[in-house]
Amino acid sequence: MSLARAEIEIRSDLKELRQAREFVRAFCRNLPDPPLEEDRAAALELAVNEAASNIMKHAYHGRADQWIHVEGEVFPRYVSIRLHHLGDPFDPATAQPPALDGTRESGYGAYMISQCVDQVRYYRDERGRNCIALVKKRNER
């Protein structure tokens, strides 16, 4: 059962990333006890920034006139942020991992997201929208 919930809509314009980050920061700051540790909240904020950026650049191909619905939910053991969009879907199974030796510039966003959260899932929701669900445990246990 969810303890708290909030949502916003942002345009698929890179200038809107700031609003997405501020949403996550405020949402995490106002969690019912126990609060999310600052470094865990920052990692979730980074993951949301990367996910939204990937939607804008790849799912919407740089079109700034589309929408991304961002929802946050708090549960006793974790925080969940979901980004819903109508752009092209992403299949992580087809994505090449980043070349950490610097020989290729792409692939870092999905990698960073996976390193910042405890769980990431890509799926189509009940309304037919593509969704990226990011889960961060409230504590390390």
* C-alpha to C-alpha distance for 113 and 89, rounded to whole angstroms: 16
Whether cis (ω within 30° of 0) applies to the bond prior to 97 is no
DSSP-derived 3-state class of residue 35: coil
End-to-end CA distance of the chain: 20
The pLDDT value given to residue 123: 96
Number of domains comprising the chain: 1
Please report, for the domain that includes residue 68, its CATH number. 3.30.565.10
Phi, psi of 14 (to 5 degrees): -55, -25
| pTM, full prediction | 0.92
The pLDDT value given to residue 95: 76
What is the identity of the amino acid at 13? D
Quote the domain boundaries for residue 43.
4-137
pLDDT digits (tens, 9 = 90+) for 27-66: 999 888 777 899 999 999 999 999 999 999 999 999 999 9
